[in-house]
Structure 1
Amino acid sequence: MRSSYEHLQSMMKDVLDQLGYPDEVYQLMKEPTRIMRIRFPVRMDDDSVKIFTGYRAQHHDVFGVTQGNVHFRPNITEEEIAALAILRSVKSSNLQIPLGGSSGGIVCDLRELSFRESERLCRGYIRSIHHIIGPNIDIPSSDAAVDPQMMAWMMDEYSRLHTGMNPNFIAGKPFVLGGINNKQTAVEQGVYHTIHALIDEYNLPLKETKVMIHGTGNIGSYLARMLNDSGVKVVGISDPQNAVYHPDGLNIPEILKQKDHFGIVTRFIDESISIDEFMEKESDLLILTTKQEQVNVNIAKKLNTSIIVETVNNTLDQEAINHLHSRGIEMVPEVLATNGGIVYAYLEWLEYKQGKKFTDKEIEEYFKDIIHLAIKEAKYTSLKKNINMYLASYMIGMKNQAEAIRYRGWL
């Protein structure tokens, strides 16, 4: 079975071939131009010293500056960091944001670290990579699991190492240090605006649009609540064990009240159904938010929806994509649906560059406009080339980068 990295590279190769670019463009873009592997010591609270491994990957600097998250996970690998850097480039290009993709991470389990150990870890990471990041080089930003305090430590450490340079280019900071409000739910907001953009583009009546949400994690629960509040009819929601569905809509506030620490919402609902039954129910939009499952062609054959929104990369396998396209079911990939964090990081960087502070209203308008424009462009490309939106999104993301490389005269 191919890894996610190999799947991504295969997709890139197919897309660039279809766009007519020579093989050397793929050879340049298939891997990051720079991957730095670091090992650095951290003094623990018991006075012992532990050595941590970290990474920073930069896909390319064809746009001049790269930007990407910092991830703290015990299972992070160099290959995953490389794939995330490439995906960041594709996502930014889909949003028409002129930044290359980067990514970084530390192999660790934050749950095992104290507050002060976490601080020393963040500072040690910046000391190890400070010479390859900067406002005109590479902009670290926060992952969903990285809080503003951690980004503030990184910002402060950078300022100690570069005393004559403003460290505010680092994104994901606390609001009082130049951050942006509500950054912690940026990914969820991005999916929310994506869904509303799809409703607008396909002329669906808001209050009659039937949405099913597969998963009750952070994204699934947020979308259920926000879509319900905006007037969309949430007709189904699943948890790790079962699901609940009603064609006339669900009482979402009441259902979410029952959610336990394991994400279970159906434990006390008598009319709950199995996940298999749930996937066969009728809807206008099906939002996939679970990380454990992959939709294969057998599951795809049972789906009874018009639009599928993928919020976890590689949830739909290639056979499923081909089958769904043959049935006329539209698919919005993760590279198009989960870009809220990129928008927020970009706006925070713009604040730094322009020396001004956006109002909450301005941020909301920018956010909505960028997401809606990306959906509109993907739909236009899919219709023009008679392809699904899944492929169209990668075409836009790859073409913008390839054209920048061509104009630069690199190849």
Structure 2
Amino acid sequence: MNTLSFLNSHKDSAWSIFVTQVERVLPHLGDLTFWASTLTRPKRALIVDIPLEMDDGSVRHFEGYRVQHNLSRGPGKGGVRFHPDVTLEEVMALSAWMTVKCAALNLPFGGAKGGIRVDPASLTKKELERLTRRYTSEIGLIIGPQQDIPAPDVGTNAQVMAWMMDTYSMNVGATTTGVVTGKPVHLGGSLGRVKATGRGVFVTGRKAAERLHIDVSQARIGVQGFGNVGSVAAQLFAQEGASIIAVQDHSATLVNEQGIDIAALIAWQQARGEIRGFAGAAEVDHDAFWTLRYDILIPAALEGQITASRAERLDCRLVLEGANGPTVPQADDILRERGITVLPDVICNAGGVTVSYFEWVQDFSSFYWSENEIYQKLDAIILSAFDYVWNKSLELGVSLRTAAYAIACERILIAREERGIYP
């Protein structure tokens, strides 16, 4: 299978990482390998130009994307990222990971992702609204509640989703709440959505720690990234008695061997947009974060953070992938050889897409669940998936990532085979 023919990728790029992950699972797919090339070729990729009138009257152009990786199991599902480093290749990989994630959780979705190469902090609120609305109109050809359902990601939030929902609704002539998830609750959003991904990291991480005989109440934890995912996971682990001894974001690396006051750090970060300057911990060099002794490490920032060189130096027992694709394949091998367990992103951070599924269902029915009901349903789904992946890993004698991919790819390719090729 000439897997890289679609795109000439750098070996450590996000897309190349995904392709390598697929190649590693092929020996476990049996006759379904006949269809495996579909996994390394996105179904549809849309590149759009977004002209934006700035507040000063000038016009700037931004490049946007929406990629639908695979729709064999249902409509596309995946976030929209506003970040200055967004590329088509990155969005392709993120859409592919969504395909695997939805299949691993057995949600009735395919994978999709979108993004605009922009620093949202450089725009005024009105500029950001105009950018979002024009982008939504440009990708409106391929999104819809039964086609492809965007959601928040890095650099976007509930307000951006409200603008997207409103723009799509105006263009089709009817209020269509189900076109996006992650909306404000009063516009059809779901309770529990904001904390869902971080909660998923905590719930699956606590289960993995139990399997590895790690006492969470005594655990030393490091968290990279302190947005919705990292901060919520850190808070929940701290409430269980764990010591969050190190936190890193784009602005600083904070260390306190006695444990950082996470509630105080969250308040500080929310007020300033960064963790730099927080008085309750020492600021150290960024690279020092990767050399501290942890029981549990939670990379919850961007992809490609655990490189081979960092994997050689890590001193921990369990890695919980709060981010998408934070561990490169070579680092995966090194961690496995060193006896460090990696709970892969497609299970560990799937709480967000699971509650997005709940939101989508609630929008169709116009019947909404309480936050407790949401969390009960969320925990049941992700823990069931966790158990299935853990047992598959033992059965096949492979890593948790390869086990998750074996389960997910089998489901995807069975759907591909049974649907056949049209025409």
- TM-score over 0.5 for the alignment? yes
Please give the secondary structure, in 2, of the residue aligned with 1:132. coil
| 2:187 partner amino acid | L
Does the C-alpha gap of structure 1 residues 17 and 178 become closer, same or farther in structure 2, counting only changes over 3 Å?
Answer: same
Please give the secondary structure, in 1, of the residue aligned with 2:141. helix
**Residue 243 (structure 1) shift:** 6.0
Of the three residues 239, 246, 254, the one matched with 1:237 is 246
Of the three residues 405, 412, 422, the one matched with 1:394 is 405
For the residues of structure 1 that align with 2:142 and 2:284, how far apart are their CA atoms?
A: 53
Deviates more, 1:12-21 or 1:299-308: 299-308
Q: Give the conservation status (yes or no) of the 8 Å contact 1:144–1:184.
A: no
**Residue 314 (structure 1) shift:** 4.0
For the residues of structure 2 that align with 1:121 and 1:40, how far apart are their CA atoms?
A: 7
**Residue 381 (structure 1) shift:** 0.8
For the residues of structure 2 that align with 1:251 and 1:112, how far apart are their CA atoms?
A: 31
Q: Give the conservation status (yes or no) of the 8 Å contact 1:212–1:235.
A: yes
**Residue 165 (structure 1) shift:** 6.3
Does the C-alpha gap of structure 1 residues 408 and 200 become closer, same or farther in structure 2, counting only changes over 3 Å?
Answer: farther
Does the C-alpha gap of structure 1 residues 156 and 290 become closer, same or farther in structure 2, counting only changes over 3 Å?
Answer: closer
| 2:76 partner amino acid | T
Deviates more, 1:301-310 or 1:131-140: 301-310
Please give the secondary structure, in 2, of the residue aligned with 1:26. helix
Please give the secondary structure, in 2, of the residue aligned with 1:123. helix
**Residue 99 (structure 1) shift:** 0.3
**Residue 41 (structure 1) shift:** 3.0
Match of 2:206 in 1: 196
**Residue 188 (structure 1) shift:** 2.0
Does the C-alpha gap of structure 1 residues 35 and 44 become closer, same or farther in structure 2, counting only changes over 3 Å?
Answer: same
Q: Are 2:129 and 1:119 equivalent residues in the alignment?
A: yes
Q: Are 2:60 and 1:39 equivalent residues in the alignment?
A: no
Matches within 5 A, 1:333-348: 333-348=344-359
For the residues of structure 1 that align with 2:29 and 2:307, how far apart are their CA atoms?
A: 27
Match of 1:364 in 2: 375
Q: Are 2:360 and 1:349 equivalent residues in the alignment?
A: yes
| 2:383 partner amino acid | H
| 1:385 partner amino acid | L
Deviates more, 1:236-245 or 1:124-133: 236-245
Specify every segment of 5 or more residues in structure 1 that has no aligned partner in the other structure, as ranges.
none
Matches within 5 A, 1:266-277: none
| Identity of matched residues, % | 28
Deviation track 1:321-350 (CA, whole Å, cap 9, x = no partner) reads 223323433211222222222112111101
Please give the secondary structure, in 2, of the residue aligned with 1:199. helix
Does the C-alpha gap of structure 1 residues 148 and 391 become closer, same or farther in structure 2, counting only changes over 3 Å?
Answer: same
Match of 2:85 in 1: 75
Q: Give the conservation status (yes or no) of the 8 Å contact 1:243–1:278.
A: no
What is the number of residues matched between the two proteins?
406
Match of 1:223 in 2: 233
| 2:238 partner amino acid | N
Match of 1:317 in 2: 328
For the residues of structure 2 that align with 1:262 and 1:72, how far apart are their CA atoms?
A: 18
**Residue 280 (structure 1) shift:** 5.5
Does the C-alpha gap of structure 1 residues 242 and 46 become closer, same or farther in structure 2, counting only changes over 3 Å?
Answer: closer
Deviation track 1:246-301 (CA, whole Å, cap 9, x = no partner) reads 5xx635359848878653478775798996597352x4423234549743455444
Match of 1:86 in 2: 96
| 1:307 partner amino acid | L
Q: Are 2:192 and 1:169 equivalent residues in the alignment?
A: no
Does the C-alpha gap of structure 1 residues 51 and 217 become closer, same or farther in structure 2, counting only changes over 3 Å?
Answer: same
Please give the secondary structure, in 2, of the residue aligned with 1:236. strand
Q: Give the conservation status (yes or no) of the 8 Å contact 2:67–2:112.
A: yes
**Residue 217 (structure 1) shift:** 2.5
For the residues of structure 1 that align with 2:87 and 2:285, how far apart are their CA atoms?
A: 38
Please give the secondary structure, in 1, of the residue aligned with 2:150. strand
Does the C-alpha gap of structure 1 residues 243 and 119 become closer, same or farther in structure 2, counting only changes over 3 Å?
Answer: closer
Of the three residues 139, 146, 169, the one matched with 1:129 is 139
Q: Are 2:211 and 1:211 equivalent residues in the alignment?
A: no
**Residue 145 (structure 1) shift:** 2.5
TM-score (norm 1): 0.87
Specify every segment of 5 or more residues in structure 2 that has no aligned partner in the other structure, as ranges.
1-9
Deviates more, 1:237-246 or 1:299-308: 237-246
Please give the secondary structure, in 1, of the residue aligned with 2:156. coil
| 1:96 partner amino acid | N
Q: CA RMSD in A?
A: 3.1
Q: Give the conservation status (yes or no) of the 8 Å contact 2:196–2:355.
A: yes
Matches within 5 A, 1:262-341: 263-264=275-276, 279=291, 281=293, 283-289=294-300, 291=302, 294-341=305-352
For the residues of structure 2 that align with 1:262 and 1:16, how far apart are their CA atoms?
A: 42
Please give the secondary structure, in 2, of the residue aligned with 1:172. coil
Does the C-alpha gap of structure 1 residues 128 and 25 become closer, same or farther in structure 2, counting only changes over 3 Å?
Answer: same
